[in-house]
Amino acid sequence: MKFQKSPGTQDILPGVVERWQFVESKARDICSRFNFREIRTPLFESTELFQRGVGETTDIVEKEMYTFVDRGERSLTLRPEGTAGVVRSYVENKLFGDPDVSKLYYIGPMFRYERAQAGRYRQFHQFGVEAIGSVDPALDAEVIALGYSFYTEVGLKGVRVEINSVGTPAVRAAFRERLLAFLEPKREILCKDCQSRMDRNPLRVLDCKTDQAHFEGAPSILDSLDEECTAHFDKVKQCLSDMGIPFEINHRLVRGLDYYTHTAFEYKAEGIGAIDTVGGGGRYNGLVSDIGGPEQPGVGLGLGLERTILLLEHQKTELPNLHGIDVYIVALGEAADREATKLVYELRRQGIRAERDYQGRKMKAQLKSADRLGARFTAILGDDELARGEIALKDMAQGEQRIVAISALAGELK
Ligand code: HAM
């Protein structure tokens, strides 16, 4: 019997996991500067939460959820995204009682039954933020700026910000009629996907990759916005300009989740095969009340970490080497070996990253090991040195070696 990982899942091995740690530490660092605090919610929630939150006619709910019945006959679903769970937790824990805006972030796995390809997986990871409790367009702009800072600070180049307003449900209903009037005469020449979307969710038709040529002259939702929506969108654009965040307006941008109102945005970049969206988000003023909470507006984003890391690799971005050791203790002989056990433990207790040999190898093999680990120093412990209570400390970059007392080693290394 030979086991293999399930399609669309990945092992993240040492050597690659350091990239993840780097990206995640940037995310945490940025959140702390933007005053977002971490929230950890369950990996599974009741199926109904996602049906209501994400929307019955979305691809996610219609065909991508990992849903199962547990032993207590409850229908549960592995979270396909983070917003619904965070909003559920916000309501359940009455965070709306907080006089300040709830600014929350999360990093973790999400699950969607999608056709796996480069940049698209069945278990993937998102860095997401949700700011709940204010309609201020400055908050939309702040969330967009946070995502932009993330991509910039991890070292990605060429990430573009596209924004749109999808208005209120009333605005969308009116726009839907205008759009269908435009699309209906073309129905037969559009692809199967578009035809079915025309019936279920016409705004998403404009998202189609293959039929773009037929959408020339399609009405723009921006022309259908009411005064309030226009004012909100104008203010978001103004805030972004004030902060110096470059953005483009894409009136065809519609997101794949139903909860958005007003601002919708995406981060786009070339380099992951057919996929160009690396992250996205928007405002959701009706979601909190839709899932049983008070009328509280929110805005947030979700950034795909696999896509971020694929792009970093594609752009050959140099990342800091987070893994490495400070010193490798080379031990030769039985007594030295015994001393090495004690010594590495003592060094590690003092905050020094230390390693030793565990395979009784010769000096040359131990030195090679030190080299592979990128040790900054090697400390060679032979029986003679040991008898004098000394150790030979070598600076691997400089190449110089000196003899120090074993008891002084930690101090020397610091
Ligand atoms: P989303 O656009 O569905 O939004 O996902 C956000 C990001 O997650 C995508 O841009 C992509 O980078 C990544 N992603 C999605 N599906 C996959 C997949 N199958 N494989 C790899 N990466 C994937 C949301 O999930 C919203 N909850 C974002 C949000 C938060 N809106 C408001 N607050």
Domain boundaries, the chain: 17-167+225-314, 327-413
User: Separation of 126 CA from ligand 1 center, angstroms?
Assistant: 7
Spacing of C-alpha 98 from chain mean position: 27
Q: Considering only CA atoms, which residue is closest to atom 16 of ligand 1?
A: 120
At residue 206, the pLDDT reads 87
Give nearest CA residue, ligand 1 atom 25.
81
Parallel, antiparallel, or unpaired for β 261-272 and 160-165?
Answer: antiparallel
- DSSP 8-state assignment for residue 64: I
Nearest one of 174, 190, 178 to 217, comparing CA atoms: 178
Q: Which atom of ligand 1 is nearest to the CA of 279?
A: 10
Same fold, 17-167+225-314 and 327-413: no
CB of 286 closer than 6 angstroms to any ligand 1 atom: no
Which atom of ligand 1 lies closest to the CA of 130? 33
CATH of domain 327-413: 3.40.50.800
**DSSP states of 78-137:** E-SSSHHHHHHHHHHTTGGGSSS-EEEEEEEEEE-----BTTB-SEEEEEEEEEES---H
Contact 266, 280 (CB under 8 A): yes
Going by the DSSP 8-state scheme, the letter that residue 406 receives in this structure is G
Task: State if residue 277 touches ligand 1 by the CB under 6 angstroms criterion.
Answer: yes
CA distance 218 to 215: 5
pLDDT digits (tens, 9 = 90+) for 193-215: 899 889 888 998 988 878 988 99
CA separation for the pair 410, 353 (Å, rounded): 11
Cβ–ligand 1 contact at 81 (below 6 Å): yes
Instruction: Report the 10 Å Cβ neighbour count for 385.
Output: 19
Terminal CA-CA length for the chain: 50
Q: Is 80's C-beta closer than 6 angstroms to any atom of ligand 1? A: no
Tokens 């839907």, located at residue: 176
Q: How far is the CA of 351 from the centre of ligand 1 (A)?
A: 39
Residues within the annotated binding site?
81-83, 112, 126, 130, 255, 259-260
Q: Which residues of 341-356 are buried (b: 16+ CB within 10 A; e: fewer)?
A: eebbeebeeeebbbbb
Query: What span, in angstroms and rounded, lies between the C-alpha atoms of 95 and 101?
Result: 9
Residues forming the annotated binding site for L-histidine? 81-83, 112, 126, 130, 255, 259-260
Judge whether 297 and 199 are in contact, CB under 8 Å.
Answer: no
Q: Which two tokens stand for residue 64?
A: 């991508």
- 121-126: long-range contacts (C-beta < 8 A, 24 or more apart)? 121/8, 121/9, 121/10, 121/306, 122/6, 122/7, 122/8, 122/9, 123/8, 123/9, 123/10, 124/304, 124/305, 124/306, 125/304, 125/305, 125/306, 126/81, 126/82, 126/302, 126/303, 126/304, 126/305
The finding on whether 304 has its CB within 6 A of some atom of ligand 1 is: yes
| CB of 128 shorter than 6 A to ligand 1 | yes
Residue 185 φ/ψ, nearest 5 degrees: -60, -20
- DSSP tally for the chain: helices H, then strands E: 14, 16
Q: What is the CATH number of domain 17-167+225-314?
A: 3.30.930.10
Task: Provide DSSP, 321-346.
Answer: -----SEEEEE-SHHHHHHHHHHHHH
Question: From the centroid of its chain, how far is CA 212?
Answer: 29
Cβ of 297 closer than 6 Å to ligand 1, yes or no, is no
Q: Using an 8 Å Cβ cutoff, are 221 and 233 in contact? A: no
pLDDT attached to residue 328: 98
To test the ligand 1 pocket, which listed residue (124, 156, 312) has its Cβ within 8 A of the most ligand atoms? 124
Pairing mode, strands 66-69 and 160-165: unpaired
Residues belonging to the chain: 414
Q: Can you tell me which atom of ligand 1 is nearest the CA of 278?
A: 12
> Using CA positions, which residue lies closest to atom 12 of ligand 1?
304
Output the residue whose Cα is nearest ligand 1's atom 30. Answer: 301
Report DSSP state, residue 220: P
CB–CB of 312/319 below 8 Å?
yes
Residue 207, pLDDT score: 80
Which of these, 287, 339, 340, lies nearest to 53 by C-alpha position? 287
Is there an atom of ligand 1 within 6 Å of 143 CB?
no
Report CA(214)–ligand 1 centroid distance (Å): 27
Ligand 1 pocket test, pick from 6, 9, 81, 161 with the greatest ligand atom count within 8 Å of Cβ, gives 81
Calculate how far, in angstroms, residue 253's C-alpha sits from the geometric centre of ligand 1. Answer: 14
Residue nearest atom 17 in ligand 1 by C-alpha distance: 120
Pocket test for ligand 1, best of 79, 88, 126, 307 (most atoms within 8 A of CB): 126
Residue from 357, 22, 343 nearest 156 by CA: 22
Q: 281 in ligand 1 pocket by Cβ < 6 Å?
A: yes
Please list the ranges in the chain whose pLDDT falls under 50: none
| pLDDT at residue number 274 | 85
